[in-house]
Amino acid sequence: MVDSKRPSKHPATQAVTGGRRKIWTKAVVNPPVWRASTHLYNNVADLREGLNSNEDGNFFYGRRGSPTQWSLAEALTEMEPGAAGTMLYPSGVAAIACAMLAVLNPGDEVLLTDSSYDPSRSYADAFLKRMGVTARYYDPLIGADISNQFTDKTKAILLESPGSLTFEVQDVPAICSAAKTAGVTTLLDNTWATSRFFPALHYGVDISIIAATKYIVGHSDVMMGAVTTHKKYWTKIRRTAQQLGQIVSPDDAYLAARGLRTLEVRLKQHEASALQIAHWLKDRPEVGAVLHPALPDCPGHEIWKRDYSGSSGLFSFALKDGDDRSRADFIDALELFGIGYSWGGFESLALPVDPEKHRTATKWSMDGNLVRLNIGLEHPDDLIADLAKGFEHYNK
Ligand SMILES: Cc1ncc(COP(=O)(O)O)c(C=O)c1O
């Protein structure tokens, strides 16, 4: 559904121009909110013709979307070199679930990185298990040795790079190359980097998944997921999403597209502020490891340097010599950092995280209690002052 006549441009330009076809925008800048269930045909012949040309981008029925959703999907496709299309879902978890469902059958086995987002694990351990699919976990830093994990039953592998609590950067090209040789489909949760900092398909991934709730929307007011894939998987991904009735509201698509237009400047600021704060934390006596992919403490840092063109605003750090209570005292003392799930919005967040509770293939043995920070768009000096105040309450 991408307009192949469009020249390729810088990602910043692509984010601004993507999906804004004249037939969808008419005389205005943003494709308007088209609220519709029924799409009306001129006559019965047109109705029947609609069945023959039922591509996204043509009016058909509300569950297939309208120009508001098509435009956003097309913009996301254009931002991922090599992509054939993007499907939208009502949450990031729905995108992960539907993408896995599209490529797995009863009797299959799926491998998941041990650093996977916890709801991805729950989905695999409960829902996929009920479907007769076995889930097995692997060390996120396994690299090319993943080939030793493949059995005749292995049909898909889920990567998440970096892990969204512990930030191990995976050797995506090595894993994808081994998977390709073994005929295993690769799916990557690319929410942290987005296609802006890591064009997943270019690095060998088959199916790139983004929780658009985070950086695409960027304003903490919409839930959405997106799956972008190349030609080989596009029909499967699209059909499965449609069979499962996946649709996002035009209002949400409008807001997500609005977020997308400023992705470049937001990501750059998230990146600069997060790096400043991560370096400041590194020098604090209360802090052990700083798990930020752009810092050497982070497992997989060398891979990040090799493959990623930037870093976003989410990272973790370890508090030394304290316990769960003193970590809570530190977080509770923060004023600019809210306490809550999610990330990628304009507001900063702090979260206590305990990776040891989720691991099965590897043991989490890093010293200290982890705090995950979402660095928002407040001035980094104010955020640093807030964190300094938090440390005044740590172990007191
Ligand atoms: C890495 C990662 N993937 C997927 C999701 C799921 O996205 P959503 O909250 O939109 O379901 C999240 C949410 O926090 C996440 O952190």
Q: Report which protein residue has its CA nearest ligand 1's atom 13.
A: 342
- Per residue in 126-147, pLDDT (tens digit) is 999 999 999 999 999 999 999 9
Query: Parallel, antiparallel, or unpaired: how do β-strands 349-353 and 369-374 relate?
Result: antiparallel
Sheet holding 369-374, edge to edge: 287-291, 314-319, 369-374, 349-353, 338-339
d(CA 342, ligand 1 centre) in Å: 7
Q: Where are the alpha helices (DSSP H) in the chain?
A: 11-17, 22-25, 44-52, 67-78, 92-103, 118-122, 129-130, 172-182, 194-197, 231-243, 250-261, 263-282, 301-307, 324-332, 380-392
pLDDT at position 311: 98
Give the number of the atom of ligand 1 that is nearest the alpha carbon of residue 191: 1
Contacts of 285 (CB under 8 A, 6+ apart): 320
Place of tokens 């007011």: 221
Q: Is 189 a catalytic residue?
A: yes
Overall pTM surpassing 0.85 (yes/no): yes
Q: Where are the alpha helices (DSSP H) in 116-171?
A: 118-122, 129-130
**Pocket of ligand 1 from Cβ distances under 6 Å:** 91-93, 117, 160, 164, 189, 191, 211, 213, 223, 225, 342
| Lowest mean pLDDT, pick from 50-64, 172-186, 200-214, 317-331 | 50-64
Q: With 60 as the cut, is the pLDDT of residue 6 above it?
A: no
Q: Report which protein residue has its CA nearest ligand 1's atom 2.
A: 117
For the CA atoms of 48, 49, 52, 55, the dihedral, rounded to the nearest 10 degrees, stands at -120
Report which DSSP code applies to 335. Answer: S
Report which DSSP code applies to 287. Answer: E
- Count CA within 13 A, CB hemisphere, residue 346: 11
Q: What is the largest CA-CA distance in the chain?
A: 77
Give the number of the atom of ligand 1 that is nearest the alpha carbon of residue 164: 1
Average pLDDT over residues 338-344: 97
> Candidates 214, 248, 312, 372: which one to mutate for ligand 1, based on the most atoms within 8 Å of Cβ?
214
Q: With 80 as the cut, is the pLDDT of residue 5 above it?
A: no
Residue 51 pLDDT grade (very low, low, confident, very high; cuts 50, 70, 90): confident
Q: With 70 as the cut, is the pLDDT of residue 3 above it?
A: no
Residue 1 pLDDT grade (very low, low, confident, very high; cuts 50, 70, 90): very low
Report which DSSP code applies to 144. Answer: G
- Per residue in 131-187, pLDDT (tens digit) is 999 999 999 999 999 999 999 999 999 999 999 999 999 999 999 999 999 999 999
Q: Is 308 a catalytic residue?
A: no
